[in-house]
């Protein structure tokens, strides 16, 4: 008897949304990351809250890709939520480079819009102020944004920024390939460049994980970076263990697979150019 590893949850815009069994590992990683023995129930709740809203954010991110692809004549088989995020199975891609660029950008744009709404919510719904003394002895009001809205905002800022990294076949990598085509490169040559950049990121992440695991060496963020800059620095250079290794493997494997497909497409069908 074969173990079922994914389930169809529902359909949205006639696109099946599936949940992969690997989400259980994602839940375990999040709960472990935020677990605090002094507040066990609260920390587990934080982990589960992040899981739920991360999956919702990923679904909206992938749905943006899918609807944009459909608007340009593409076809979408399904959307799968899994350990490494989401995957919209687009069986027929838009036919022009600028259309693929917009399709790839639609996901990060959606994430940033969700973050903007969450920042608004954190400021005006549930935030509070406390009176405090400034170093000069003056009474000031210190504002604290709502914790849960802030988590949603940070999740989506991270999701959007990470996907904009030019690591093909991630969104930023597809945008890079499309831009190279719009500036005159053939689809094959543009894909080769995008795959090369993606492999550079994959190699960087493998090296960072090895340095962290074997020698306890991390790349420190410059001290003059503001909080948002530090957050973005950690997205690229922070530790990530097994998850970051899996992402590096995915970039290497699927980038090579698509490069081979594009070469065959160019040889037998002429590609886009």
How far apart (Å, rounded) are the C-alpha atoms in residues 199 and 191?
A: 12
Is 258 designated active site? no
How far apart (Å, rounded) are the C-alpha atoms in residues 176 and 193?
A: 9
74 secondary structure, DSSP code:
-
How far apart (Å, rounded) are the C-alpha atoms in residues 65 and 105?
A: 8
Cis peptide before 169 (omega within 30 of 0): yes
Beta bridge partners of 85: 82
Which one of the listed residues 62, 130, 258, 265 is annotated catalytic?
A: 62
Strand residue runs (E) in the chain: 6-12, 15-20, 75-82, 85-92, 128-133, 139-144
Question: In what helix (H) or strand (E) does residue 260 lie, and over which residues does it extend?
Answer: helix 241-268
Q: How far is CA 149 from CA 123, 145, 222, in A?
A: 9, 8, 28
How far apart (Å, rounded) are the C-alpha atoms in residues 161 and 168?
A: 14
| Residue numbers annotated as active site | 62
């Amino acid at each position: 008897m074969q173990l079922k590893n994914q389930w169809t949850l529902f359909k949205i815009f006639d696109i099946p949304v599936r949940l992969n069994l690997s989400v259980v590992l994602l839940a375990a990683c999040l709960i472990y990351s935020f677990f605090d023995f002094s507040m066990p129930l609260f920390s587990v709740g934080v982990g589960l809250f992040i899981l739920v809203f991360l999956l919702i954010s990923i679904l909206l991110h992938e749905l943006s890709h899918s609807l944009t692809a459909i608007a340009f004549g593409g076809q979408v088989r399904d959307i799968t939520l899994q350990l490494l995020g989401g995957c919209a199975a687009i069986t027929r891609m838009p036919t022009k480079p600028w259309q693929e660029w917009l399709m790839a950008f639609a996901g990060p744009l959606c994430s940033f819009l969700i973050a903007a709404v969450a920042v608004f919510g954190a400021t005006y719904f549930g935030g509070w102020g406390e009176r405090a003394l400034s170093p000069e002895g003056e009474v000031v009001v210190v504002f604290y944004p709502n914790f849960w809205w802030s988590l949603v905002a940070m999740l989506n800022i991270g999701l959007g920024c990470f996907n904009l990294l030019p690591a093909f076949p991630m969104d930023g990598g597809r945008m890079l390939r499309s831009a190279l085509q719009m500036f005159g490169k053939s689809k094959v040559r543009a894909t080769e460049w995008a795959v090369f950049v993606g492999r550079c990121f994959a190699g960087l992440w493998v090296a960072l994980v090895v340095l962290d695991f074997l020698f306890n060496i991390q790349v420190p963020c410059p001290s003059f970076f503001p909080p948002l800059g530090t957050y973005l620095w950690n997205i690229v250079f922070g530790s990530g263990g097994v998850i970051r290794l899996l992402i590096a493997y995915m970039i290497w494997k699927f980038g090579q697979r698509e490069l081979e497909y594009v070469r065959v497409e160019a040889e037998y069908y002429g590609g886009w150019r």
